[in-house]
Amino acid sequence: MPMDRVNQSYASNSWNPGDEVVGLYDFSGRSQDDLPFKKGDLLVIVKGTTDPNWFKARNASGREGMIPANYVQQRKVVTLHAMPWYHGKISRGEAEDLLSPRETGLFLVRDSNNFPKDYTLCVCYESKVEHYHISYADNKLSIDNEEFFNNLEELVKHYTNDADGLCTRLIRPVTKKGDNFGTVSIQDFKSGGWVINKKDLDLGELIGKGDFGDVYKGFYKGLPVAAKQLKDQDRGSQAFLQEAGLMTSLNHVNLVKLIGLVIGDTIILVTEFMGKGSLVEYLRSRGRTVITKKDQIHFATDTCAAMDHLESKGLVHRDLAARNVLVHDDGTAKVSDFGLAKFGDFSLSSQKFPIKWTAPESLRNNVRKSFTNKSDMWSFGILLWEIYSFGRVPYPRIPLADVVMHIERGYRMEAPEGCPAEIYALMKQAWEMNPDNRPTFNEVLSKLNNLRSITV
C-alpha cells in the first residue's frame, strides 16, 4: 500500500484514547517518532493529533509512537442477531424435511455444504425447494453479485420485502428449535477486525478442559495468551461465538480480554493469559501463609468492579464463582467465562448446576429470565465467602441435596475465621431472600474501595 494514501482525509474517524485498533498492513515507519507494526498487530489509541490522518498509539510491549489511520482498523463490537431462521450446519435433505408443508415463501438459511464460509438460502416455491448460494467476499454477502449485504439479517430483510430475482419473496421462516436468544455471524468477526491468522498463534501445553473446548497456553505474535479450542464444531460453535461476541463489547481491566479468534476447520478463542490461574485454586494453594488481607480485599474489589461494569451494561454473568475468576501475574483478579448460555441443558439434578452459588429465586424457577444482576449479587456474596475462607467449598457441613432447603428456611453461612465484620455484613446483604433488598454492585464497590484504602 503506497504511503501517499495517508494524505486522504480521515477526519470522520472518532477514535478516542483507549480504543483498540488492529493493523491492516505492515507499517515500517518513516521517522523515529513512528510506531512500526505488522498486519494483525493490536494497538491502543493514546490520543489524536492535529492531523486527522495520524494518531499516537501504544503496542503490546508498551512502546508508543505515531501511526497512520488508514493502515489500521478500529475493532467493532460483534452483536447478537435475532435470526430464528438460521439453522447452522444442517444438510440439504434436513433443510428440505424442515420446509414442510411446502407453502410458497417458506424459508430458512443454513451453512453451505460445498463452500464452508458461505451460506444457503432454502425457499419453497410451488411445492419445490430452491437452494440459493449466498457467497461471502470482501466482507459482504450476496446471492447474485448485484445486491450486497453486511450480514444475513440485512439479506433476509431485503428479500422479505422484494423477491428481486428469487423465485418468490421470503414470507414465513422455519424457526430453529431450542435456544433462539441470538445468533452470531462469523462475518461480523471478520469485518469487525477480530479474526487473527492461525500462523501467528503458537499453541503450547494444555492448561484446562471444558464442556465446549480445551484451553492451551500459547503465544500470539510473542504475546502470552490462552487459547480455547472448540471441541465440536457442530454442537458448540454458536455458544463459542456468543461468548466471543459478548467479549468484543467488554473493555475493562477486571474482565479477561479477548485478543481474537482463529476461524478455520475449528474455532479458537484467544484471550490474554492469566498466569496465576483460577482464583479458587490460587486461594487454596497459597493459603493463609501467603495471602494477606490486602490481597483478599484486592480480589474482592477487582471482582466487584468487573461485575459493576457488567451491571452498567445490563449484562448478567449467571455463574459467578471463584473458579470463574482468574488471577494475572501482577495479582489483578479478572472475571471470565461470561457469555455462554451455561444453563441451556442444566437441571437442578445435574452435577453441572452450581447450586451452592445460585440465588434462591433462580433455583426455584431454573429459567434464564430468573438470572439477574441481583442473582449475580447473591453469587458475589458466596464468592466473598470463598475469598475469606481461602477457597473452601461453600456450605461445608451441609449435604448438597439439603442446601436449598436450608437456604429457604433462612440459614446463612457463618463468617469465615478472621473475616472482617464489614465484609461479612456485605455477604449478608447479598444473601437477602428478597432480590430487591440486595445492594447493587456499584453500591458494594464503593464500600469495598473504602475498605481497600484502609486495609494494610
> H/E/C letters for each residue in the chain?
CCHHHHHCCCCCCCCCCCCEEEECCCECCCCCCECCECCCCEEEEEEECCCCCEEEEECCCCCEEEEEHHHEEECCCCCCECCCCECCCCCHHHHHHHCCCCCCCEEEEEECCCCCCCEEEEEEECCEEEEEEEEEECCEEECCCCCCECCHHHHHHHHHHCCCCCCCCCCEECCCCCCCCCECCHHHHHHCCCECCHHHEEEEEEEEECCCEEEEEEEECCEEEEEEEECCHHHHHHHHHHHHHHHHCCCCCCECCEEEEEECCCEEEEEECCCCCEHHHHHHHHCCCCCCHHHHHHHHHHHHHHHHHHHHCCCCCCCCCHHHEEECCCCCEEECCCCCCCCCCCCCCCCCCCHHHCCHHHHHHCCHHHCCHHHHHHHHHHHHHHHHCCCCCCCCCCCHHHHHHHHHCCCCCCCCCCCCHHHHHHHHHHCCCCHHHCCCHHHHHHHHHHHHHHCC
Cell of 387: 475469598
Q: Which helix (H) or strand (E) holds 17?
A: none
Residues 138, 143, 146, 150, CA torsion sign: negative
| pLDDT above 90 (res 277) | yes
pLDDT higher at 206 or 116: 206
For residues 229-253, average pLDDT: 78
Give residue 178's pLDDT.
Answer: 56
For residues 381-404, average pLDDT: 96
Question: Active-site positions?
Answer: 319
Structure confidence at residue 79 as a pLDDT band (50, 70, 90): confident
Give residue 1's pLDDT.
Answer: 36
pLDDT higher at 214 or 422: 422
228 is in an annotated binding site: yes
Read off the amino acid at residue 263: I
Supply the mean pLDDT for the chain: 88
Structure confidence at residue 370 as a pLDDT band (50, 70, 90): confident
| pLDDT above 90 (res 163) | yes
| pLDDT above 70 (res 232) | no
Cell of 290: 501467603
Structure confidence at residue 8 as a pLDDT band (50, 70, 90): very low
Q: Please give the angle made by the CA atoms of 428, 430 and 432, to the nearest 5 degrees.
A: 75
Lowest mean pLDDT of 252-261, 298-307, 347-356, 371-380, name the range. 347-356
Within 10 angstroms of residue 68's Cβ, the number of other Cβ atoms is: 22
Structure confidence at residue 369 as a pLDDT band (50, 70, 90): low
- What are the backbone angles phi and psi of residue 56, rounded to the nearest 5°? -90, 130
Whole-prediction pTM: 0.78
Q: Which helix (H) or strand (E) holds 392?
A: none
**Contact assessment for residue 270 and residue 219, using Cβ atoms and an 8 Å cutoff:** no
| pLDDT above 70 (res 11) | no
Give residue 265's pLDDT.
Answer: 77
Give residue 344's pLDDT.
Answer: 41
Closest CA to 236 of 213, 209, 264: 213
For residues 77-86, average pLDDT: 82
Give residue 9's pLDDT.
Answer: 36
